[in-house]
C-alpha cells in the first residue's frame, strides 16, 4: 500500500504529535535489549514500526515494513499462542502485498482470542480493500464495535463499515456511519468521503455540497484524490463507484 495517502491526508499532524507517537518504539526496543525473547515487546514493536511506515513517519517505509515483517514473524516463533503476535504479522502482511497470509494471521489471532476487537475490525477492513468483500466486512466491524464500544480507534474502524455499506448501495447507512466517524476525528477524512458520495447517490445534493466543502479542505480537487485513494483498493469497480458519487456531488 502506498504511503502517500496518509502523508498527504494527515499532513496537519504536528511534528510534536509524531514525536510522541514514536516514543513507544524506543521503549519496546529498550525492553528487547533487556530480554530479546520477549514476545509481547517484539509484537508491539512490529506494529509500531509498521504503523510508522504506513503513516509516512519514517524516512524509508520499505525498510520499516521489512523490519516489521521480520519482527512479527519472530514474535510468532517466540509464542505461537500469543494473539497479538499473529495480529502484528497480519497487519504487516496487509501492507506488504501478502493478502492471503494476512487473512490467515488475522483469523489465527481471532481463534486464539475471540474477543480481540481490533483483529475483527482490521480483518474487515482488509477483506474490503484487498478482497472486495464488503458483505463480510460489516459483521466483522460490527463485532469489533460490540466488543469495544468506546475504543479510541473507532474513527478508523467506522469508515470501513461506511465503505462496505456504500459498496452494497446502502447509502443512507453509509451517510450515518460516515458522519459518526467524521465527528470523532476531523483530521481523518475517510468517513466523510462516504458521506459526500452517498448523499449524492441519494440525490440529497445540498447536504452533499455542504459535506464536500469540508472534504475539499483536505482533498482540494479530484486530481489529488486520484493520486491518493485508488491505490488503496484492489478492485477498480469499487473505486469507480466512489468516484461516481463524488462527481455527482460536484467534486472535480
89: domain CATH number? Answer: 1.25.40.10
Residues 3 and 56 sit within 8 Å (Cβ to Cβ): yes
pLDDT tens-digit series, residues 193-226: 999 999 999 999 999 999 999 999 999 999 999 9
85 belongs to a structural domain: yes
Give the position of cell 445534493.
Answer: 205
Residues 92 and 73 sit within 8 Å (Cβ to Cβ): no
Q: What is the mean pLDDT of residues 34-40?
A: 95
* Cα–Cα distance, 165 to 152 (Å, whole number): 22
Per-residue confidence band for 20, with pLDDT thresholds at 50, 70 and 90 = low
214 belongs to a structural domain: no
Torsion angles phi and psi, residue 217, rounded to 5: -65, -20
pLDDT at 228: 86
DSSP structure class, residue 37: T
Which range has the worst mean pLDDT, 17-21, 24-28, 38-42, 75-79? 17-21
Per-residue confidence band for 57, with pLDDT thresholds at 50, 70 and 90 = confident
In which domain, by residue range, is 26 found? 1-114
Per-residue confidence band for 55, with pLDDT thresholds at 50, 70 and 90 = confident
89 belongs to a structural domain: yes
128 belongs to a structural domain: no
Residues 197 and 177 sit within 8 Å (Cβ to Cβ): no
Q: Which residues are within 8 A (CB) of 88 and not within 5 positions of it... i.e. 6 or more apart?
A: 43, 44, 46, 47, 50, 68, 71, 72, 75
Residue 158: exposure state from Cβ atoms within 10 A (0-12, 13-18, ≥19): buried
Per-residue confidence band for 21, with pLDDT thresholds at 50, 70 and 90 = low
Q: Which residues are within 8 A (CB) of 108 and not within 5 positions of it... i.e. 6 or more apart?
A: 86, 90
Structural domain count, the chain: 1
Nearest to 65 by CA among 27, 24, 93: 93
173 belongs to a structural domain: no
The mean pLDDT of the chain is 91
DSSP structure class, residue 45: H
Nearest to 90 by CA among 117, 72, 63, 78: 72
Q: Which residues are within 8 A (CB) of 178 and not within 5 positions of it... i.e. 6 or more apart?
A: 158, 159, 162, 191, 192, 193, 194, 195, 198
240 belongs to a structural domain: no
pLDDT at 14: 39
3-class state of residue 143 by DSSP? helix
60 belongs to a structural domain: yes
70 belongs to a structural domain: yes
Query: Is 50 exceeded by the pLDDT of residue 10?
Result: no
pLDDT tens-digit series, residues 117-168: 999 999 999 999 999 999 999 999 999 999 999 999 999 999 999 999 999 9
Q: Which residues are within 8 A (CB) of 230 and not within 5 positions of it... i.e. 6 or more apart?
A: 236, 239
Per-residue confidence band for 25, with pLDDT thresholds at 50, 70 and 90 = confident
Amino acid at each position: 500500500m502506498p504511503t502517500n495517502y496518509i502523508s498527504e491526508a494527515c499532513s496537519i499532524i504536528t511534528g510534536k504529535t509524531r514525536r510522541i507517537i514514536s516514543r513507544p518504539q524506543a521503549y519496546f526496543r529498550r525492553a528487547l535489549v533487556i530480554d530479546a525473547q520477549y514476545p509481547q515487546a517484539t509484537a508491539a514493536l512490529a506494529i509500531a514500526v509498521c504503523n510508522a511506515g504506513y503513516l509516512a513517519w519514517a524516512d524509508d517505509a520499505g525498510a520499516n515494513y521489512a523490519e516489521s515483517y521480520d519482527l512479527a514473524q519472530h514474535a510468532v516463533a517466540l509464542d505461537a499462542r500469543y494473539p497479538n503476535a499473529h495480529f502484528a504479522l497480519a497487519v504487516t502482511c496487509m501492507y506488504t502485498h501478502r493478502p492471503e497470509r494476512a487473512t490467515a494471521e488475522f483469523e489465527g489471532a481471532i481463534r486464539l482470542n475471540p474477543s480481540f476487537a481490533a483483529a475483527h475490525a482490521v480483518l474487515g477492513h482488509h477483506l474490503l480493500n484487498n478482497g472486495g468483500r464488503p458483505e463480510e466486512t460489516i459483521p466483522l466491524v460490527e463485532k469489533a464495535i460490540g466488543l469495544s464500544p468506546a475504543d479510541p480507534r473507532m474513527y478508523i474502524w467506522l469508515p470501513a463499515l461506511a465503505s462496505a455499506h456504500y459498496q452494497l448501495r446502502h447509502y443512507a447507512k453509509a451517510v450515518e456511519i460516515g458522519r459518526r466517524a467524521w465527528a470523532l476525528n476531523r483530521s481523518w477524512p475517510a468517513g466523510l468521503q462516504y458521506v459526500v458520495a452517498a448523499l449524492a447517490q441519494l440525490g440529497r445534493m445540498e447536504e452533499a455540497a455542504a459535506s464536500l466543502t469540508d472534504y475539499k479542505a483536505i482533498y482540494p480537487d479530484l486530481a489529488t484524490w486520484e493520486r491518493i485513494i485508488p491505490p488503496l483498493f484492489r478492485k477498480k469497480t469499487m473505486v469507480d463507484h466512489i468516484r461516481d458519487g463524488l462527481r455527482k456531488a460536484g467534486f472535480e
